[in-house]
Amino acid sequence: MRTPSLFTPPPNMTDAMRRTRRHMLARTGLAWLVMMQVMMLAFPGYLRHGARAPEAQQSLEQAIVLMNWLSLILCVPLILYCAWPVWRGAWRALSQRCIGMDVPVALGILAAFVPSVVATWRDAGEVYFDSVSMFVAFLLTARFLETCARQAVNGQPHESWDAVLLHSADRLAFWFVCVQILLAIMVGLYWWAVQPGQAVAVTVALLVMSCPCAMSMSVPSALAARHAVRLRAGAAGPGGSASLDKATRRIARQNLYGSLAWHLLMAPLAAIGWVQPWVAALTMLFSSLAVAANAWRLTRRAGDGVASGRGAAQPA
């Protein structure tokens, strides 16, 4: 029997939940494939400002034009298929006159993709296809982890404080998104007036960082870890429930407030132009992985305790 983990599928998993996982995994896999190709195609652009002979510079510029068009072609399925849940969620939120997680994500993708298309068509200006592909791939990865964590505790009994923590995380994420969007608009207008060439990059970086993926999965990942511990301890008998609940609450709060602190640290750096869009996408992924890793510590520590309990129960 496979040992339960943080993202073990629940025994009551429905066909709809399985389809959701398959579709998310397919979109995530394609996004990573596109991202790797676009990153390779973007490499000549990183060499544009180096010193070289005029003939070599002209050849490099021609290569950059070709690579930009290839990147644009590759990003079309990324935008239309991989990011489709983002467009659907953003439209649903706006039609209900509310701001959800998908609204700033959609704005960030559009703010990077549309200027890149225009720059490619005009053969002038900066392109951000690498940042777009990284953002979508990392976003889908974080959301896949969040979905697995939420499905792992689907239908499981919850403590009274579970709902309180979940509500606190959702409310904090909502207000964070609102403030971050407002900050991105204000800072973007400032940069447009002071240094227009940096306005798009700064705005995109702030919009990318407005996605509260880590905050959204902070509590579900902790609850999924607790559920995995309880499944492991099933054969060894109950015990330590109060201490497990206490550790779960501690992990959930660490995840929630730690991810918020990370965003508050990175947002000013992005506002002054020190964080490029691709760096913002990378930090978003790292924060989500850090949340999952912190929740995994609970299963590791409790799993060692279960193993010790089983060893002590063996006859001499």
Looking at residue 110, its amino acid is L
Q: How far is CA 6 from CA 91, 125, 137, 145, in A?
A: 32, 45, 22, 10
**Cβ(73)–Cβ(37) under 8 Å?**
no
Greater model confidence, 203 or 46 = 203
Q: By 3-state DSSP, what share of the chain in percent is helix, strand and coil, each rounded to 5?
A: 80, 0, 20
- When pLDDT is cut at 50, 70 and 90, the band that residue 263 belongs to is confident
One DSSP character per residue, 16-32 reads HHHHHHHHHHHHHHHHH
- From residue 245, how far is each of 152, 172, 237 by CA, in Å? 17, 22, 16
DSSP H helical segments within 156-276, as ranges?
A: 160-194, 196-209, 213-233, 241-271
pLDDT (tens digit, 9 = 90+) per residue, 54-99?
A: 888 888 889 999 999 999 999 999 999 999 999 999 999 889 888 7
Q: Given pLDDT bands bounded at 50, 70 and 90, which one contains residue 133? A: very high
Provide Rg for the chain, Cα atoms. Answer: 22
| Per-residue CA distances from 294 to 3, 110, 254, 279 (Å) | 19, 33, 8, 22
Q: Is a pLDDT exceeding 80 seen at residue 278? A: yes
For residue 3, the 8-state DSSP code is: P
DSSP 213-230: HHHHHHHHHHHHHHHHHH
Q: Which range among 17-31, 135-149, 210-224, 268-282 shows the weakest confidence by mean pLDDT?
A: 210-224
pLDDT of residue 31: 97
The dihedral over CA atoms of 149, 153, 155, 158, expressed in degrees to the nearest 10, equals -130
Largest CA distance in the chain: 82
Higher pLDDT, 148 or 110: 110
Q: How far is CA 250 from the centre of its chain?
A: 22
Q: pTM of the entire structure?
A: 0.82
pLDDT given at position 72? 97
- At 313 the pLDDT is 43
The answer to whether 146 touches 213, Cβ cutoff 8 Å, is yes
